[in-house]
Amino acid sequence: MKTILMTTALVLVAPMALADEIRVLNWQGYGTDLDWAIAAFTEATGHTVVHEYFTSEQEMLTKLRTNPGAYDVVLINSAFTPQAQAEGLIGPIDAAKVPNLADVDPALVANEDLNAGGALHGVPWTWGLTSFAVNTGDFPEAPTSVSVFWDPALKGRVSIRDDALEAVQFAALATGQNINNITDMDAVKAKLTELMSQIATFWSAETDWNQNMAAGQFAVATYWSGSAARSMSEGLPVAFVVPEEGAIGWLDGLSIPASSTKQDAAYAFIDWMIDPDFYVKWEAEGAPATSNTAAAAALPEESFNRKVLGDPATVARVQFMRPVPDDVRESYLALWQELKAAQ
């Protein structure tokens, strides 16, 4: 009986397994171009994979516009999916052709930007957070609220990144607002004004963040999830916190250009990329958080991506960043500069 089933399955699969060469457009060194992963994919499906890289989101969009038919899979950050969809660059995803999609966190599949134009246009793949981390020397028990940033006892031991957008969105979280639609800018300004006198210095890169934490200069500071995982694996005494107020998130999806001629192979590749088997191996080499709850559950228990980010309750608190228009960005910068100049 089992043999018969397998044979039938093989016969069914066979027409799809015609060897195609698919072209993937992504950042260099970002998961899809891992040699061992591609080799295993080719062995399993017969399809070969060729990569092309972009160095900015604008370049990715330009490549899609000017080379129709050249790409079969493209990585698009969710903040740019609506633009790509509106320009007709990418097509809707047929969920039936991506079996692993069933295990992907429904909250991510329902992401507003990935569902641009009313249908899923990108399969959620990886995500990460901007939240904060604490020095475990100062906090034997990790706090659960961002209010620690305003704790008078920590004056001069607090830090946030010198970035207008991040600062404003962080204050929006602290005042219980939607980071993508801040209605009460006065509250944000008041909250940030209060925060300024708490701050020791602004951090700008992973290295100076690590140094200041190691020297005990920082007790609590905003941080990125991927960087926190790295710092912790290097032995820094820090804990990453996703507070009850939520955190700022980014989400990367895999999309299929509307002009792709090898859609079946493209679907097979995307399914491969969200497969737990692939993710567990990739995670060991340092990957961002996965969209696939089954993949997160398959990780070693102590793994950062499982322990801290693997919980669907955490994902539910995340506010994913939406596109920010230039004029809004500049108004945030003006506010940020005003606050910094007043110091």
Partner 1 sequence: MTGAERLRALGLLAPAYLWLTVAVFLPLSAMAFFSFLTDVPFGDREWAFTFDNYAQALTNPTYATLLWKSLKLAFWVTVWCVVLGFPCAYILARMIKGRSREVLFLLVILPFWSNALVRVFSWAIVLRGNGVLDRAVNAVLPWDVKLNLMFSETAMVIGLVHSYLPYVILTTYLSLQAIDDTVIEAARSLGARFPRILWRLILPLAMPGLIAGAVLVFVPVVGSFMEPRLLGGRVGTTYGTLIEDQFVAVFNWPLGAALSFILLAVVLVILAAASPALRKATT
Q: Is 340 in the site for partner 1 (CB under 8 A)?
A: yes
How many amino acids of this chain bind partner 1 (CB under 8 A)? 24
Of the residues 27, 30, 150, 202, which one makes contact with partner 1 according to CB under 8 A: 202
d(CA 108, CA 123): 9
The site map against partner 1 for 237-276 (x = CB under 8 A) is ----------------------------------------
Least distance from partner 1 to the Cβ atom of residue 284, Å: 34
Q: Which residue, 65 or 284, has its beta carbon nearer to partner 1?
A: 65
d(CA 273, CA 30): 11
Q: Is 217 in the site for partner 1 (CB under 8 A)?
A: yes
Question: Left, alpha or beta for 214 (phi > 0: left; psi -120 to 50: alpha)?
Answer: alpha
Q: Is 164 in the site for partner 1 (CB under 8 A)?
A: yes
The site map against partner 1 for 124-163 (x = CB under 8 A) is --------------------------------x-----xx
Q: Tell me which H or E stretch contains 129.
A: strand 123-135
Cα 52 to chain center, whole Å? 21
Least distance from partner 1 to the Cβ atom of residue 329, Å: 6
22 phi and psi angles, rounded to 5 deg: -100, 150
Q: Which residue, 244 or 338, has its beta carbon nearer to partner 1?
A: 338
Q: Could you please report the per-residue DSSP string of 136-168?
A: TTT-SS--SSGGGGG-GGGTTSEE-BS-HHHHH
Distances (CA, A) of 250 to 33, 80, 125, 133: 21, 11, 11, 18
Geometric angle at alpha carbon 201, from 164 and 308, rounded to 5°: 75
Least distance from partner 1 to the Cβ atom of residue 200, Å: 5
Q: Is 21 in the site for partner 1 (CB under 8 A)?
A: no
Binding region for partner 1 (CB under 8 A) out of 82-90, 209-217, 221-229, 268-276? 209-217
Q: Which residue, 212 or 290, has its beta carbon nearer to partner 1?
A: 212
Of the residues 96, 153, 215, 313, which one makes contact with partner 1 according to CB under 8 A: 215
Of the residues 34, 142, 185, 196, which one makes contact with partner 1 according to CB under 8 A: 196
Binding region for partner 1 (CB under 8 A) out of 125-133, 196-204, 275-283, 288-296? 196-204
Binding region for partner 1 (CB under 8 A) out of 145-153, 212-220, 226-234, 261-269? 212-220
Q: Which residue, 97 or 340, has its beta carbon nearer to partner 1?
A: 340
d(CA 335, CA 273): 41
Name 248's bridge partners: 130, 319
Least distance from partner 1 to the Cβ atom of residue 199, Å: 5
Q: Is 199 in the site for partner 1 (CB under 8 A)?
A: yes
Burial 209-240 (b: 16+ CB within 10 A, else e): bbebbbeebbbbbbbbbbbbbebbeeebebbb
d(CA 71, CA 104): 24
d(CA 151, CA 162): 20
**Contacting positions for partner 1 (CB under 8 A):** 156, 162-164, 196, 199-202, 204, 215-217, 326, 329-330, 333-334, 337-338, 340-343
